[in-house]
Structures are given as C-alpha cells and as structure tokens.
C-alpha cells in the first residue's frame, strides 16, 4: 500500500481575498473571471486601491487546495512547492501542515517573497485572480521529492505551472517519474487563460496522455478549439484515459474510460466560487483512491464543491468537509 493517496506539485500562494464591486474591476482595468499574472508593483497597486476593504487570507494555490481538501476527507497527501523565508512563507507552511499535508519545506527556505494571489469576489460569487508568483515562479525539479512521489497512488499537478519554463519542466519530469513507477497521473487545466495562451505547453505537460484530467466547460472547449461541449468531450478522450468536466450548478460530466456519467449539481446559494474546482478534484481523487466507482466519487465531489461555494475562501473547515463525507459512507 502506498504511503500517500496523492503527491501534488504546484504554486504556493497566500490568497488575499476581497469582496468587491464590478466597478472596482473596471477602475483597475482587470478582466473578470480569470487569473492574470501581475508583477509585485501592480499587485500592490491593487491592494492599495482596496485598502478600505476587509480581506481574509489562507494558504492557496490550485493544487494545494486540492490536496488539503483530500486530506480533510481523510486522505493522505504530499505537496511540493516553493516558499520564501518571510512571514507569508512561514504562515503558508503552518497552514499546509495544519491541513494534514506533508511537504518538502519543513526547514530551509530561501530569501525573497512568497507568492500572493489577490482574489476579487464580486456579488455574483465570481472570482477574479491577480497573481504575483514571487519565489514560486522559480519552482523547479529541485522541489521534487522522488521517494514521496513514487510512494503515492496518484501524481497531481496544476495547469498554472505551464507559465514558467522551470515549473513546466518539473511537472513533466514528475509525470515521467510517476509513469515509470506505476503511479497514476492527473492534471487540472486550471483556468481558461492557461488554455487560451499556453495550450502547447499544456500538451507538453500531458505528454502521451494523462490518466485523469479535470477541466471546466470553458477550459475543455478551449483545448478542443470548439464551442460544442460534445466536441470537447471527444477531444479529451484523445489526451486522457479518464476526465471530469465541471459545469457549475449543472454538476459535471465524468468519462470513466468506458462511458459518460452525468453528475448532478447541488442547488446552493453561491457566495464565492474560489477553489470550487480544486475541491471537486480533491474529493474526486479521494473517492477514487478509496476504490469508489466514478459515479459515487463524482457525487461526493459535486457535494463538496457545492458546500465550498457557500462561504468565502478556497477551503472550508475539516468538520464541514467531514459532514459532507458522512452522506456517502
């Protein structure tokens, strides 16, 4: 039996979350609903503009949210990332370890700035992200811990790593190590902008084919170069043995390698969609790692992500996650 259900690699970002009006996005000249990479000066300009707004912070990054969600459900996880020897870096590591996730950064950290993600949440629950990667932009193969990777059931990576040559190379190397060790591979496409501007890089990360891909409708159709969801389904079959396409309130479509499974949505009052796809992936991977079929794993993932969007932030408390799980065991 493997020590970890999931070994993940991804950006280490401290989420700084603000509730804003659409007008704030207009004033700041920010595209709504996507992730945009910014330099530190631009991010500080945004934070200065929002100085009077209350904000909350949490350790984030797409893949980190996923492995913490899995850990909260009772799974075991390891996360490789890069943080600096600053206050945010120490906060990030404490939060990750408190979430039950092992990591490669128990001791030595480098000088510089830990990555930050300013998350702007509009009244409709939509999230817009402005990310300064900090030292996470230098994520490389040095952060890989091969022993932990080879002692996992699944390797999981995020599409956001495609923007950095070093991080992309690390993700590709990790996938190759996983494949050689018989560890199953999974990837989240992460964001429509990653697909729109870095499709070739994502295909490099996918390589000869993943075992499992997570995408929302926009990402799936963007990869397929279509506006037809059925065409996107057909395309994903060519690059992954299994996949899940999340559809917000409409639930999800899951391909288990043999047939397409419709996962029902859960009607809730949406407050904040930050981390919804990450939680879906974490809960789905938890279910699959427990030997559940894709229907049951998808239903758990849909319920967990629906619970998440009823509150602010990329995660909910372990007790809330466990309450969702109880309905499925």
Contact 272, 122 (CB under 8 A): no
Torsion on CA atoms 37, 40, 43, 45, rounded to nearest 10: -140
**What SS3 class is residue 201?**
helix
Task: Give the whole-angstrom CA distance, residue 50 versus residue 200.
Answer: 36
Model confidence at 100, in pLDDT bands (50, 70, 90)? very high
Residue with tokens 């999340």: 246
| pLDDT of 106 | 55
C-alpha Rg value of the chain to the nearest Å: 18
Q: How many domains does the chain have?
A: 1
Cβ neighbours for 205, distance < 8 A, ≥ 6 positions apart: 157, 159, 161, 162, 168, 171, 172, 175, 187
**Token pair listed for 276:** 């919804």
Domain hosting 180: range is: 4-326
Residue 109 pLDDT exceeds 70:
no
Considering only CA atoms, which of 237, 236, 321, 309 is closest in space to residue 271? 309
| pLDDT of 19 | 87
Residue with tokens 């932030």: 313
Residue 176 pLDDT exceeds 90:
yes
Beta sheet of 77-80, edge-to-edge order: 101-103, 77-80, 4-9, 152-158, 184-188, 210-216, 240-246, 252-255, 260-263
Model confidence at 55, in pLDDT bands (50, 70, 90)? confident
Task: Give the whole-angstrom CA distance, residue 174 versus residue 111.
Answer: 25
154 DSSP β-pair partners: 6, 184
Residue 16 pLDDT exceeds 60:
yes
Model confidence at 271, in pLDDT bands (50, 70, 90)? confident
Model confidence at 160, in pLDDT bands (50, 70, 90)? very high
Tens digit of each residue's pLDDT (9 = 90 or more) over 198-212: 999 999 999 999 999
Is the full-model pTM beyond 0.85? yes
- Whichever domain contains 162, its CATH number is 3.40.1190.20
């Amino acid at each position: 039996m493997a020590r970890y259900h999931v070994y993940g690699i991804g950006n280490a970002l401290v989420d700084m979350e603000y509730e804003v009006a659409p007008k704030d996005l207009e004033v700041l000249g920010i595209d709504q609903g996507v992730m945009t990479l910014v330099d530190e000066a631009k991010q500080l300009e945004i934070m200065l503009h929002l100085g009077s707004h209350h904000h909350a912070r949490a350790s984030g990054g797409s893949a980190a949210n996923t492995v913490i969600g899995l850990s909260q459900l009772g799974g075991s996880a390891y996360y490789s990332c890069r943080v600096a020897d600053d206050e945010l870096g120490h906060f990030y590591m404490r939060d990750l370890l408190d979430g039950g996730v092992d990591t490669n950064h128990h001791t030595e950290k480098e000088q510089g700035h830990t990555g930050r993600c300013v998350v702007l949440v509009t009244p409709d629950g939509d999230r817009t992200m402005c990310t300064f990667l900090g030292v996470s932009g230098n994520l490389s193969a040095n952060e890989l811990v091969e022993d932990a990777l080879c002692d996992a059931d699944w390797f999981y990576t995020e599409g956001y790593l495609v923007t950095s040559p070093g991080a992309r190379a690390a993700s590709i190397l990790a996938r190759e190590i996983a494949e050689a060790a018989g560890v199953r591979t999974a990837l989240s496409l992460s964001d429509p902008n990653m697909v729109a501007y870095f499709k070739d890089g994502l295909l490099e990360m996918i390589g000869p084919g993943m075992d499992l891909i997570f995408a929302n409708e926009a990402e799936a159709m963007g990869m397929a170069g279509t506006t037809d969801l059925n065409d996107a389904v057909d395309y994903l079959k060519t690059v992954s043995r299994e996949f899940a396409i999340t559809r917000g309130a409409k639930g999800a479509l899951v391909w288990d390698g043999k047939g397409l499974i419709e996962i029902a949505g859960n009607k809730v009052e949406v407050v904040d969609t930050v981390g919804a796809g990450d939680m879906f992936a974490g809960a789905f991977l938890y279910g699959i790692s427990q030997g559940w079929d894709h229907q049951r794993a998808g239903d758990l993932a849909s319920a967990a992500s629906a619970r998440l969007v009823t509150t602010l932030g990329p995660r909910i408390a372990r007790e809330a996650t466990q309450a969702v799980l109880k309905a499925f065991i």
